[in-house]
Chains A and B, each alone.
Chain A
């Protein structure tokens, strides 16, 4: 398996909802990432997990809560989001510190 998968593809949620985004890879990669991408902008790094430990948190608001249950899975728990949080959320993985491979993303709309 040479792909990063993400579910769901699309998510619409209200500001009081709690939802989770999921990411999975079976390439044996030991680093996993969450990025946020707004329309016509580059991906912005949110979190990095290395060997299942959170190594980078880019001052992301606490309404976004990452979790890495094991080396193949990465979750992003969402709670009390704002409309400006609507974006494409991309997961990526890498073997070492370099080549990152992206999943297809979850397009999130917050109403």
Chain B
């Protein structure tokens, strides 16, 4: 089955800096790659996603890149703010079967 690895497990940045989180997946048939943000005690919230026929997608301060050949994808957050502090999960999915990475705890220091 699909195996998703995510790095780093923790990331601390200064407010205004950029943050990058990287994931790799094992199943070349996976065709959908979402990113979720989960604050303490809350549900995972979809923040951005990318399909396998697209290499890059941007939404304001958040961007995701996908390299299908290398089977890795990354989340980029620019101009980080304290409210970006949360756990971020990447995931890889095919046919409704979605597998998550282990998560990255992002801390943005004011």
Contact = CB atoms under 8 A, between A and B. Distances in A.
A3 to B, nearest CB: 10
Interface stretch (A12-20, A39-47, A79-87): A39-47
B97 A101 contact: no
A102 B44 contact: yes
B contact face: mostly helix, strand, loop, or mixed? strand
A42 B89 contact: yes
Contacts of A42: 89, 100-103
Interface residues of B, number: 22
A39 B43 CA distance: 13
Nearest to A43: B100
B43 A48 contact: no
A94 interface: yes
A31 interface: yes
A38 to B, nearest CB: 12
A27 interface: no
Given A90-B43, A104-B43, A48 B96 contact: yes
B98 A45 contact: yes
A98 to B, nearest CB: 5
B34 A100 contact: yes
Interface string A33-77: 100000011111100101000011000000000000000000000
Contact of A90 (B32, B44, B46, B96): B44
A31 B46 CA distance: 17
B102 A98 contact: no
A89 B30 CA distance: 25
Interface of B: 32, 34, 36, 42-46, 49, 51, 89, 93-103
Interface of A: 31, 33, 40-45, 48, 50, 55-56, 90, 94, 97-105
